[in-house]
Amino acid sequence: MSWCILCHSKMQEQVTWGMLLGTDPDPVACSPCLEKMTKITGPVCAKCGRPMDSASLCTDCVSWNEREEGILKENRSIYSYTATVKEVMNRFKFRGDAEIIRLFEQDIRTAAKKIPRKAVLVPIPLSAERLQERGFNQAELIAGCIRRPIVQPFNRLTSEKQSKKSRKERLAGAPLFTLNPEATVKNLCIVIIDDIYTTGNTVYQAAKLLKKAGAQDISSLTLIRG
Ligand SMILES: [Zn+2]
Ligand SMILES: [Zn+2]
């Protein structure tokens, strides 16, 4: 007998052949909770993975294409940002419940099947203060569920440096990180990993630095499409 990681109720889940054979992990949440974790299925924006009525480009991506053509191949995300997903993410990030990663693991592995064999993963870094506060970087935990090499070519600028910037500067996309001068990303196929894609600013900033340093093929995978 086990307990649901989300609602803490006792779970009486059906044992599947996959679970007996060890190919499917034991479920960590009950079915009603899992159903509330809305996965993105059906047509999405060809570029950013936002759910759409048809697989065309969303208006945000049309504008990104005008500014940053050829930087990011595509973003794909696993879940929609529903109230339940938001609550789960708050627990994961702001209450520092690293165990929650187990809830996402299977869906991350399924999504990762589309990642090229030769790809390396670049998790978006946290600032040192955030990392100390939280004890883990959620993007690294997500990347850790995928069987590909992980590289960290970025240094995150401190939020102190960030907050000295005016709101206008921040909205204009003031730099979030710098590329470590020793990092070698030349000709690499890279998948940037983050927890959420909202405006695209973080992912595009990262992609732009990687491209400048000679990375070949850059896309991103995030848990959530905000
Ligand atoms: Zn539950
Ligand atoms: Zn889009």
**Distance of CA 85 from the midpoint of ligand 1 (Å):** 13
pLDDT for 48: 97
The pair of three-digit structure tokens given for residue 178, joined into one six-digit string: 């710098």
212 burial (CB, 10 Å; 0-12 / 13-18 / 19+) is exposed
pLDDT for 26: 77
pLDDT, one tens digit per residue, over 31-47 is 899 999 999 999 999 99
Residues 6+ apart with CB under 8 A from 9: 3, 30
pLDDT for 175 beyond 90: no
pLDDT for 81 beyond 90: yes
**Distance of CA 50 from the midpoint of ligand 2 (Å):** 6
**Distance of CA 12 from the midpoint of ligand 1 (Å):** 11
User: Which pLDDT band, with edges at 50, 70 and 90, does 84 fall under?
Assistant: very high
- Domains of the chain listed by start with CATH number: 1-36 (no CATH), 38-225 (3.40.50)
**Distance of CA 57 from the midpoint of ligand 2 (Å):** 5
pLDDT for 168: 57
**Three-state SS at 27:** coil
**Distance of CA 132 from the midpoint of ligand 1 (Å):** 30
HSE-CB of 141 using CA atoms within 13 angstroms: 21
**Distance of CA 204 from the midpoint of ligand 2 (Å):** 13
Ramachandran angles phi, psi of 193, nearest 5°: -115, 130
Q: Which residue type occupies 207?
A: A
**Distance of CA 49 from the midpoint of ligand 1 (Å):** 28
The pair of three-digit structure tokens given for residue 22, joined into one six-digit string: 């060890």
Question: Rounded mean pLDDT of 55-65?
Answer: 93
**Distance of CA 143 from the midpoint of ligand 2 (Å):** 23
Return mean pLDDT, the chain.
Answer: 90
pLDDT for 27: 84
Nearest bound ligand to the CA of residue 61:
2
Number of residues written out for the chain: 226
**Distance of CA 55 from the midpoint of ligand 2 (Å):** 10
pLDDT for 172 beyond 80: no
User: Which pLDDT band, with edges at 50, 70 and 90, does 89 fall under?
Assistant: very high
**Distance of CA 226 from the midpoint of ligand 2 (Å):** 11
Which residue from 130, 120, 107, 129 is spatially nearest to 222, judged by alpha carbons? 107
**Distance of CA 46 from the midpoint of ligand 2 (Å):** 7
